[in-house]
Amino acid sequence: MGAVAYDPKVVTIWSGFRDWLRSAGFPFDYVLYSHYESQVEDLLAGRIHTAWNSPLAWIRAERLARSRGRTVRAVAMRDTDLDLRSVVVVREDDAVRSIADLRGAAVAVGAVDSPQATLIPLEYLRRGGLRPGVDVTVRRFDVGVGLHGDHIGGERDAARALAAGEVTAACMTDANHLLFVTEGTLLPGATRVIDVTGPYDHCNMTAVDSAPADLVSAFVDLLLSMSYADPAVRPLLDLEGLTAWRPGRTSGYADLDEAVGRSGFYDAHGEVTARGYLP
Length of the chain (residues): 279
Closest CA to 206 of 63, 94, 99: 63
Name the E strands within the chain. 2-4, 31-33, 50-53, 72-78, 86-91, 106-109, 137-140, 169-173, 191-196, 204-208, 245-247
CATH of the domain at 11: 3.40.190.10
Q: pLDDT class for 192, splitting at 50, 70, 90?
A: very high
Strands (E) in 123-244, as ranges, are 137-140, 169-173, 191-196, 204-208
Q: Give the residue-averaged pLDDT of 203-212.
A: 98
Helix (H) or strand (E) holding 38: helix 36-45
C-beta of residue 9 within 8 angstroms of C-beta of residue 239: yes
Question: What global pTM score does this model have?
Answer: 0.95
Phi-psi region of 83 (alpha: psi -120 to 50; beta: other; left: phi over 0): left
In a domain, 151, yes or no: yes
Q: Band of the pLDDT at 279, cuts 50, 70, 90? A: confident
Residue at 275 is within a domain: no
The mean pLDDT of 224-241, rounded to a whole number, is: 97
Residue 52 has pLDDT above 80, yes or no: yes
Q: Is residue 270 part of a domain?
A: no
How does residue 275 score in pLDDT terms, banded at 50, 70 and 90? confident
Q: Give the domain-ending residue among 150, 177, 196.
A: 196
Q: Are residues 94 and 190 in the same domain?
A: yes
Residue 128 pLDDT exceeds 80: yes
Identify whether residues 72 and 206 lie together within a single domain.
yes
Which CA distances in Å does 55 have to 44, 59, 71, 149, 252? 16, 6, 16, 10, 9
Give the range of the structural domain holding residue 70, as residue numbers without chain letter.
2-81+202-263
On the question of pLDDT at 88 being above 80, the answer is: yes
206 and 76 belong to one structural domain: yes
Rounded to whole angstroms, the Cα distance separating 62 from 167 reads: 36
61-82 pLDDT per residue, tens: 999 999 999 999 999 999 999 9
Calpha distance 34→25 (Å, rounded): 29
| Closest by Cα among 182, 63, 60, 50 to 115 | 60
Query: Do 77 and 90 share a structural domain?
Result: no
**What percent of the chain shows pLDDT beyond 90?**
96
Q: What is the reported pLDDT for 276? A: 77
Q: Are 247 and 42 in contact (CB under 8 A)?
A: no
What DSSP designation does 99 have?
G
